[in-house]
Amino acid sequence: MQTVLETKNVIKNYRKTKAVRNLSIKLEENTIYGLLGRNGAGKTTLLNLLTGHKFPDSGEIKGFGKTLNKGDSLQEICYIKDNHQFFEESKVIQLLNFAAPFYEHWDWNFANELLRQFELDPNKKFKKLSRGMKSTVGIMIGLASRAPITIFDEPLLGLDAVMREKFYDILLKDYAEHPRTILMSTHLIDEISKVVEKVMILETGSIKLFDDMDTIRNKSYFVSGKSDVVESILKHKNVIHKDQHGKITIAAVFNTMSKQEIMEAEELELSVEGMSLQKFFSYYCMGGDKHE
Ligand SMILES: Nc1ncnc2c1ncn2[C@@H]1O[C@H](COP(=O)(O)OP(=O)(O)OP(=O)(O)O)[C@@H](O)[C@H]1O
């Protein structure tokens, strides 16, 4: 698959804060990426660097194989930020009219359909929209742009569960018909696990994990049962968290377990269950999610 965006040894500091540390990643065409990380992990900084809104202190950023110099930004990118800088006095339809010419693949039929689906009055002024409605304006522009690379920074802030489901459904349907690269940073981890194909976890400016969603799903398990049996079966496995309840241990494992190993565990009266991405993220990054 073609690489559409790439960073090589990118560093970005804000005075003493090392926001992005020596980061090298490749984003491929026609893939949906989820960008995860705790507050302050460097997600927004990375997105700003990829989109030319910020320039690295050192390292290189390439779009479609070409190095981006200071001030360059790719026409192929649509970047929707969480802090909407839209003109407050403008009506929704004026904002769409303003955005459309920037994007070669903009689809007005789709934009109008999105207005209907998200129940937005095109003649309402942006400043009079609720927080969630403001987010839907960004979402609509991001989707209708059909940009080869669409980047959303926390697109779902303020959206209720119904609207968020609507977004995931529309995104997946449209992506199936018009494949492109979509990179989305979010804290709604379980929700996006249904949508993303690859997951990137940032921790203090570095990549902690970059893997296929399916691989993560297939490698993350809870194994529970009598403590000594759990301990013996997991001796050589990557246990990322353990909980002890009397004589019972519940272990969170991030490792491949073969069908044979699962069968053997079950024969020893252990239970082996899948783990949600949220749980995996918590255990993998935070050493437990007891404070959720
Ligand atoms: N303009 C700035 N000036 C100084 N420090 C900054 C600036 N922007 C970000 N930082 C710092 O850089 C680090 C990374 O911030 P960034 O906003 O990229 O994280 P994030 O992962 O997007 O966080 P969140 O999930 O809370 O939005 C943090 O320590 C933050 O305090």
Cβ atoms of residues 194 and 41 within 8 Å: no
- 199-235 burial, b for 16+ CB within 10 Å, e for fewer? bbbbbebebebeeebeebbebbbbbbbebeebeebbe
Nearest to 256, CA basis, from 214, 207, 226: 214
pLDDT at 287: 57
Block residue for tokens 């994990």: 209
Which one-letter amino acid corresponds to residue 54?
A: K
Query: Nearest C-alpha to atom 26 of ligand 1 is from which residue?
Result: 39
> Of the residues 35, 44, 47, 285, which should be mutated to test ligand 1's pocket, given the most ligand atoms within 8 Å of the CB?
44
Residues in Cβ contact with 242 at an 8 Å cutoff, skipping those fewer than 6 apart? 249, 250, 251, 252
Q: Is the CB of 19 under 6 A from ligand 1?
A: yes
Query: Nearest C-alpha to atom 30 of ligand 1 is from which residue?
Result: 40
How confident is the chain (292 residues) per 10-residue block, as mean pLDDT? 95 95 97 96 96 95 93 92 78 96 97 96 94 94 98 93 96 98 95 95 95 95 95 91 94 92 92 93 70 30
Query: Nearest C-alpha to atom 18 of ligand 1 is from which residue?
Result: 42
pLDDT at 286: 67
pLDDT at 26: 97
Q: Is the CB of 186 under 6 A from ligand 1?
A: no
Query: Nearest C-alpha to atom 6 of ligand 1 is from which residue?
Result: 14
> Could you tell me the distance, in angstroms and rounded to a whole number, from the CA of residue 98 to the centre of ligand 1?
29
- Model-wide pTM > 0.90: yes
